[in-house]
A and B are shown apart, each in its own frame.
Chain A
Amino acid sequence: MYDKLWLIPFFPLLGSIINGLLGKKIKNETIIGGIGTLAIFSSFIVSVLCFMELRLDTVKSHQQVIASWMSVGNLQIEWGFLLDPLSAVMLLVVTGVGSLIHLYSIGYMHGEEGFYRYFSYLNLFAFSMLMLVLGNNAMVMFVGWEGVGLCSYLLIGYYFHKQSAGDAAKKAFVVNRIGDFGFLLGIFLLFWTLGSEHGIWTLNFVEIAQHGHLLGAGSVVVTIITLCFFLGATGKSAQIPLYTWLPDAMEGPTPVSALIHAATMVTAGVYMIGRMNGLFAMAPDTMLVIAIVGAATAIFAASIGLAQNDIKRVLAYSTVSQLGYMFLAMGVGAFTAGIFHLMTHAFFKACLFLGSGSVIHAMHHALHKAHAHDDPQDMRNMGGLRKHMPITFLTFLISTIAIAGLPGLSGFFSKDEILLWSLAGNRGHWLLWLVASLAAGMTAFYMFRLVFMTFFGKERIAEKAKSYLHESPLVITIPLIVLAVLAVFGGYLNVPAVLGGAHRLETFLSPVFGAAQQAYGIEPPHMSHAAEYGLMGLAVGIALVGIGLAYLMYVKNPEMPAQLVAKAQGLYRAIFNKWYVDEIYDALFVNPTKKAGTFLWKGFDVVVVDGIVNGVGYIVKGFSGALRLTQSGLVHNYALAMVVGVIVMVAYYVFG
């Protein structure tokens, strides 16, 4: 099966091309959606087969090289794929969740203009993401890396007639480019250092893992390389300082938010760190930076999420926050925990987004029918929806419990693992743990605030629209149910020993992470069972406090939030306006750049450079204006000049 690896990205590419070129002629939504879904589902099948084979195989790393890409001197880059446990897990997540979301999209995007365009982009995204995951060298990964950025751009800008959508798309791409700048520098520095100092000219991941140690653990160069790569990761995975694009990216259709901006693309940064874990493990300073950035992002984004009213924005900030968790995990050396959380997060967050999509779909439909012009995404217009949409509500609730980290569901296991490592791992710190725990509490609060505002309480939707509210069709609810099931049971892949589990995911991934963790002294946390139980209890307690607060404020006593807001006006406004980060960036970077551009153009190019050029012209003009007065137009003057000239020349010969 390993030689069929190329099929995995090939199917979505094919689907994308077919839909892109012929979609306009096909017109039939079922066929277009079918092609798209089938393409990614085929990839899923191949992925599963590969996974099964790999699970039983003793050799855990397989490469397939399709063709040479660039071969210039010592730079030899191939189109090649790499299958190892890490990429196998990612493949399953991407194609699995991807398939469900494709299916969901058929229902959600029903009747949209440019339906074929949507599926073409979505398949193209799947293709790029799979290239990112499967690439056996940094360059192929970078192709996928930028490719998903492109698709993100295209899909955020799907409703391109909306100014805000265009702005958001552009912002997403440009901010990602800043990250890519770091990624590229990382590639250059890595390639050059390994090559010029150790004679290994390579960008292949396997070879990097093999020879990476030559760079020297803790050396400056490896710190810089990993920091560069991490800059790339902050862009793609929406971490401080480059997270601002993700909330805006909610301008795209909701399934896109679920697939790209929750489950897959934004986790690329985490995956990349996992892919190069050998290098990162060698740079404790970088790891510390990653952990701090991750923790800071987790709490920062969670704090913004507390006060948002747009259902998708809350989820977006929640995603940023959860990504922060994953980075925290990577930063403290808990690679498996990071990937584990990546996976569980993909399940429950995809479910949450799709659920919110289902809600928005219903709201939009109802409001549209009732000719009301309220915002279908504003939670202040919702409420009491659980009666109208029982399946959506149920799945949404399950996922919310999962993300809040209540015991038994997937989020509990993965989050707990991260908290454990950040406190007790030898690269952790109690401050990190504290911040992460606080963020977990906030998460529980705002997620349940979301649930309560949306599904409980009184129905705040316009009266006449009420009768149009109804549950979404099967094509939408089936993916919800499947994802909810995964959100419940996904966690059991990696049950810790203290709860009688066997760390199966960790065992499976150990061929990828184990070596580096051992070589550079990253030890799993050693704690007594009692302490571990205590920690779990504390985490659950914090979550419960959050949930309770939310219940108190939004179900029991709905006037309370307003009172609180009145008390802490300034703080609320800061949170509501996202700590003014966008405004600060505008003032610090965007506007000065624009001003510089205008100045260079109108001030320098036109005035100075062209001034000099035209000035030379004017000087020449002035001289010639004076000199042309000698052109009197009188033939005699010319004749005289000629004769005098002849006299002088002859004189030169005669007397000279």
Chain B
Amino acid sequence: MLTVYHYLGLSAILFALGTYGVLTRRNAIVIFMCIELMLNAVNLTFISLSSYLNNLDGQIFVFFVMSVAAAEAAVGLALMIAFFRNKESVEVEDFNLLKW
């Protein structure tokens, strides 16, 4: 029998994979994609619980998460371009001006 726990488990795995990516990758765009992955893992949790509880609120929330993700993508990628223009690189090690 397919239960909500299956979905939650999958969500956990995807979230962990996203975390792993964020922590290990050097390319900012890939990190960005990993963040999207994490967001999607969370979305999956929302929708599965929403379906399980017969309550649409969770799905509405996903909707907003998506709009935030979209906004984030637009601004984040624009930042990436601006950064690349200055540094000829998108590696996060080069994003180190903001330090002591």
Which residues of chain A have a CB within 8 Å of any CB of chain B? 628-629, 631-636, 639-640, 643
17 A-B pairs with CB atoms under 8 Å apart are A629-B100, A631-B98, A631-B99, A631-B100, A632-B96, A633-B95, A633-B96, A633-B99, A635-B28, A635-B95, A636-B23, A636-B92, A639-B22, A639-B23, A640-B23, A643-B19, A643-B22
Confirm or deny: B93 has a beta carbon within 8 angstroms of a beta carbon on chain A.
yes
* A631 neighbours in B (Cβ, 8 Å): 98-100
CA of A640 to CA of B31, assembled, Å: 13
Contact of A633 among B22, B28, B98 (CB under 8 A): B98
Kindly supply a per-residue 1/0 record for chain B positions 61-78, scoring 1 wherever the CB is within 8 Å of any chain A CB and 0 otherwise: 000000000000000000
CB distance from B42 to the nearest CB of A (A): 13
| B97 is an interface residue with CB less than 8 A from chain A | yes
Classify the secondary structure of A's interface with B: helix
Name B5-27 residues within 8 Å CB distance of A: 19, 22-23
Other than the known A634-B92, A634-B96, A634-B99, what 13 A-B pairs have Cβ atoms closer than 8 Å?
Answer: A629-B100, A631-B98, A631-B99, A632-B99, A633-B95, A633-B96, A633-B100, A635-B28, A635-B95, A636-B23, A639-B22, A639-B23, A643-B22
Bound: A635/B19 CA distance, A: 13
- B23:A633 contact, CB within 8 angstroms: no
> Quick one: closest A residue to B22, CB to CB?
A639
Most buried by B among A628, A629, A636, A640: A636
Query: Hey, which chain B residues are within 8 Å of A636, CB to CB?
Result: 23, 92
**Docked complex Cα distance between A649 and B100 (Å):** 27
Among B23, B31, B95, point to the contact of A643 (Cβ < 8 A): B23
Tell me whether B97 and A633 are in contact (CB under 8 A): yes
Task: List B contacts of A633 (CB < 8 A).
Answer: 95-100
A633 to B22, CA, bound (A): 16
Write out the residue numbers on chain A whose beta carbons fall within 8 Å of the beta carbon of B93.
634
Pairs A-B, 9 closest by C-beta atoms? A633-B99, A633-B96, A635-B92, A628-B100, A631-B99, A631-B100, A639-B22, A633-B98, A635-B95
Minimum distance in angstroms from B19 CB to a CB of chain A: 6
In the complex, chain A residues whose CB is within 8 Å of the CB of B31: 635
Which residue on chain B has the smallest CB distance to residue A634? B96
| Alpha-carbon distance between A283 and B32 when the two chains are bound, in angstroms | 96
Residues of B within 8 A of A629 (CB): 100
Closest to B26 in A: A636
How far is A632 from B95 in the complex, measured between Cα atoms in Å? Answer: 10
A641 CB → nearest B CB, Å:
11
**B3 to nearest A CB, angstroms?**
20
Return the chain B residue nearest A642 by Cβ: B22
CB distance from A67 to the nearest CB of B (A): 71
